[in-house]
């Protein structure tokens, strides 16, 4: 269902998206939000996240719905030679091929970039997302978000001091890889404007997760000390932590002496400014337990929402701790266009705000194979040819078991 005209920054760009689960689909959704035409090609059983519920809407999980808007869907069996021929015909018009098959799969099918695609489609950008890449000690091994969090050190720095290694409660490796992959595609598109040539983008969950280990890897490299969990506190800044108030828990961040002094004044504790335990950020980090006790002695007498408002108006970084419902309902979420509704669809909006080409929602998340006929007609396939491919189950408009 097309809901609005395409005025996005990537209008006219075509992405063939073979990816499933999270990182690749999130990348495709970002590109689609900003005008790229995203054709989601699903295997016969469909993107497995359609089943990752509850909750569901009309048999598709909320998990799937969250990262698959602004796409059209068709089913295609790439294990069959006829299916690969269909894909090759479509790639003749494509700007980007996005996939997250296990390394070696595309090559096994005769669709490898260096062996086939580069020669056939010299301007094509082929973006592969994998767990660890195709070579090296862990090359070719499967990788899921939590596995990579564990291996890239995230578990070791998450949780309270002394707690067991803990997974981050977001799929931040997958979604971060989706963001990095979007950047990589845009970089390759920009370079292609100069060279006229496409290229292969080797994106891995492992690389992206390691690159996000800030400040823990720099801290280790320059101290030799292995970082551990610090709970909600920051290893390099204090105060930067959760604090109890009379009514709710809040988070306060004061990253420099000026902010620290203003915080003390606003809490009517100017005595802490000259306290030698808290004179510099280094002192405050080394004495963070004493600092937290002193701040909470003042905050526990105050309404949390009221102090958040007054500290924020004073120019300090502070905020109440919200649950998901409070985030969705918050007036600033709505003001920023980060809560959208279209018919049955409820989701976050795009965080990328462009003044002239804002993008938006053109297609709701598609049912499996809903656009198969329409898509292939756009690529010059005859109706009889499409029906024949459906009869032989090369093309699919219903999920297979």
What the block records as the tokens of 393 is 């189950």
Nearest to 390 by CA among 107, 375, 51, 363: 375
Interstrand relation of 96-99 and 125-130 (parallel, antiparallel or unpaired): parallel
Q: How far is residue 62's CA from residue 52's CA, in Å, rounded to a whole number?
A: 8
Q: How far is residue 295's CA from residue 287's CA, in Å, rounded to a whole number?
A: 12
Q: How many CB atoms lie within 10 A of CB 186?
A: 16
Task: Decide if 174 is catalytic.
Answer: yes
Q: How far is residue 367's CA from residue 336's CA, in Å, rounded to a whole number?
A: 29
Contacts of 388 (CB under 8 A, 6+ apart): none
CA angle centred on 246, ends 242 and 252, rounded to 5°: 25
Options 77, 174, 241, 371, the catalytic residue: 174
> Which value, in Å, is the radius of gyration of the alpha carbons in the chain?
25
CA distances from 129 to 100, 181, 203 (A): 5, 8, 5
Contacts of 289 (CB under 8 A, 6+ apart): none
Catalytic positions: 174
């Amino acid at each position: 269902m097309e809901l609005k005209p395409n005025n996005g920054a990537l209008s006219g760009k075509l992405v063939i998206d073979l990816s499933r689960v999270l990182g690749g689909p999130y990348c495709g959704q970002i590109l689609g939000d900003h005008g790229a035409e995203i054709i989601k090609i699903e295997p016969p059983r469909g993107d497995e996240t359609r089943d990752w519920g509850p909750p569901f809407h009309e048999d598709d999980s909320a998990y799937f719905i969250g990262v698959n808007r602004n796409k059209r869907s068709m089913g295609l069996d790439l294990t069959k030679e006829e299916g690969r021929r269909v894909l090759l015909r479509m790639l003749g018009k494509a700007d980007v091929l996005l996939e997250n098959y296990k390394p070696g799969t595309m090559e096994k099918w005769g669709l490898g970039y260096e062996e086939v695609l580069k020669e056939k489609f010299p301007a094509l950008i082929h973006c592969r997302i994998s767990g660890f890449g195709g070579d090296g000690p862990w090359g070719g091994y499967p990788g899921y978000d939590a596995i990579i969090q564990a291996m890239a050190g995230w578990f070791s720095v998450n949780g309270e001091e002394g707690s067991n290694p803990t997974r981050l409660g977001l799929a931040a490796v997958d979604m971060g890889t989706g963001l990095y992959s979007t950047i990589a595609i845009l970089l390759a598109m920009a370079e292609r404007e100069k060279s006229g040539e496409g290229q292969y983008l080797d994106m891995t969950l492992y690389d992206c997760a390691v690159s996000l280990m800030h400040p823990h890897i720099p801290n280790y490299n320059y101290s030799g000390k292995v970082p551990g969990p610090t709970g909600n506190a920051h290893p390099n800044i204090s105060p930067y932590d959760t604090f109890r108030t009379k009514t709710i828990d809040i988070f306060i961040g004061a990253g420099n002496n000026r902010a620290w002094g203003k915080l003390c004044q606003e809490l009517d504790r100017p005595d802490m400014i000259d306290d030698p335990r808290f004179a510099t950020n280094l002192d405050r980090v080394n004495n963070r337990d004493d600092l937290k006790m002193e701040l909470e002695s003042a905050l526990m007498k105050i309404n949390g929402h009221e102090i958040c408002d007054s500290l924020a108006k004073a120019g300090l970084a502070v905020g109440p701790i919200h649950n998901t419902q409070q985030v969705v309902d918050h007036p600033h979420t709505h003001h920023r266009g980060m809560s959208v509704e279209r018919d049955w669809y409820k989701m976050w909006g795009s965080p990328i705000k462009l003044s002239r080409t804002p993008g938006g929602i053109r297609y709701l998340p598609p049912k499996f194979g809903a656009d198969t006929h329409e898509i292939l007609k756009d690529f010059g396939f005859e109706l009889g040819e499409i029906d024949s491919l459906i009869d032989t189950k090369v093309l699919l408009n219903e999920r297979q078991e």
